[in-house]
């Protein structure tokens, strides 16, 4: 064999080795991914029957199939999400405890009250999950048939106008306070631990109205237990397209965004945080999750951790300005 042939064979062998390395590198990388070795606790900050509970259970079912372990939803209510967030902050940073955090937990509550944890150090954002339409509802026998009726009623000092909320810093509380501030009325908040008990009192007339998350109202709206009045969201949902959007119907400053995202404990290793981002994005792409989100009026979000951090920063800035301008405090 000539030297030229030997060199040619050597080059071919080297090329083959590089090709094999390229083929098997992804497999080795996947094998090195952090593993789930036991059940995962999926903390939910609000009571069963609400929007966050719905989102959590849809995701838990799909995630369990993906990671080969049970994902168990635990409802830890109280303090508008503070109880659940504190539980997460105290948990081992090993990826086996995650929290479905509302917009209020990450952007509003930290600007309204002292907290038993550092929201920027003890909670690590992973991915934003879903945007939820804010909608105004009242009982079927209520005299309130438009947002202007509510504004007028709230200025009547001969009666108390009541609005259900689910905790300090929640989008429900912000809706009540901002609506009253923009219209010049007085609205008394009635706090609840979750949307389901609030809905019961609205449907029976014990509370006048609620600005809340559309998914938890849909069953009662369809059955006639609640009357949908208007949207506090920036646009109407395709599920109920004919209601007015308050910000486009005479009250331009009234837009209430609402979303839920997943966070893990501070000090969770970077590979595990990335693993959760990948698993959650994968779950949201499955046909079953897409179908159930659509049916319940949820808008899928997803994306990178950086996308989520930008959303948190933008909403924290926006609500901080509103809180200072209107001197909003927990009630």
% of the chain exceeding 70 in pLDDT? 90
What pLDDT, on the 0 to 100 scale, is given for residue 25?
Answer: 40
The full set of domain ranges for the chain reads 40-132+258-326, 134-248
Find the mean pLDDT for residues 296-300: 92
Find the mean pLDDT for residues 100-119: 94
Find the mean pLDDT for residues 223-233: 97
pLDDT for residue 24 is more than 70: no
CATH architecture entry for 40-132+258-326 = 3-Layer(aba) Sandwich (3.40)
Identical fold, 40-132+258-326 and 134-248: yes
Angle at 330 between CA 327 and CA 331, to 5 degrees: 110
For residue 13, what pLDDT band results from cuts at 50, 70 and 90? very low
Identify the CATH number of the domain defined by range 134-248: 3.40.190.10
What pLDDT, on the 0 to 100 scale, is given for residue 331?
Answer: 60
pLDDT for residue 190 is more than 90: yes
What pLDDT, on the 0 to 100 scale, is given for residue 196?
Answer: 81
Find the mean pLDDT for residues 226-242: 95
pLDDT for residue 95 is more than 90: yes
What pLDDT, on the 0 to 100 scale, is given for residue 167?
Answer: 75
Higher local confidence (pLDDT), 131 or 32 = 131
What pLDDT, on the 0 to 100 scale, is given for residue 313?
Answer: 97
What pLDDT, on the 0 to 100 scale, is given for residue 21?
Answer: 43
pLDDT for residue 310 is more than 70: yes
- 16-30, 167-181, 195-209, 244-258: the lowest-pLDDT one: 16-30
């Amino acid at each position: 064999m000539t030297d030229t042939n030997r060199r040619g064979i050597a080059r071919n062998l080297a090329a083959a080795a590089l090709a094999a390395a390229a083929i098997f590198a992804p497999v080795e990388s996947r094998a090195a991914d952090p593993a789930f070795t036991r059940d995962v606790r999926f903390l939910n900050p609000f009571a069963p029957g609400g929007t966050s509970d719905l989102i959590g259970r849809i995701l838990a079912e799909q995630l369990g199939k993906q990671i080969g372990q049970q994902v168990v939803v635990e409802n830890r209510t109280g303090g508008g999400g503070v109880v659940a967030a504190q539980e997460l902050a105290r948990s081992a940073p090993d990826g086996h405890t995650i929290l479905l955090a509302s917009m209020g937990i990450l952007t509003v509550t930290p600007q309204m009250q002292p907290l038993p944890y550092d929201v920027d150090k003890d909670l690590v954002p992973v991915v934003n999950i879903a945007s939820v339409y804010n909608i105004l509802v009242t009982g079927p026998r209520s005299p309130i048939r438009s947002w202007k009726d509510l504004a007028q009623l709230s200025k009547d000092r001969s009666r108390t106008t009541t609005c259900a909320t689910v905790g300090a810093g929640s989008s429900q509380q912000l809706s009540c306070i901002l609506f009253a501030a923009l219209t010049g009325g007085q609205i008394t908040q009635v706090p609840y631990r979750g949307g389901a008990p609030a809905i019961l009192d609205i449907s029976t007339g014990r509370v006048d109205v609620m600005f809340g998350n559309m998914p938890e109202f849909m069953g009662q709206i369809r059955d006639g237990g609640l009357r949908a009045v208007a949207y506090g969201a920036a646009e109407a949902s395709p599920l109920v397209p004919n209601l007015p959007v308050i910000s486009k119907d005479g009250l331009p400053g009234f837009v209430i965004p609402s979303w839920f995202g997943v966070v893990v404990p501070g000090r969770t290793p970077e590979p595990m945080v990335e693993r959760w981002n990948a698993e959650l994005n994968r779950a949201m792409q499955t046909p079953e999750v897409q179908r159930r989100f659509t049916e319940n009026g949820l808008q899928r979000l997803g994306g990178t951790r950086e996308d989520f951090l930008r959303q948190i920063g933008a909403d924290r800035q926006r609500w901080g300005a509103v809180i200072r301008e209107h001197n909003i405090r927990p009630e």
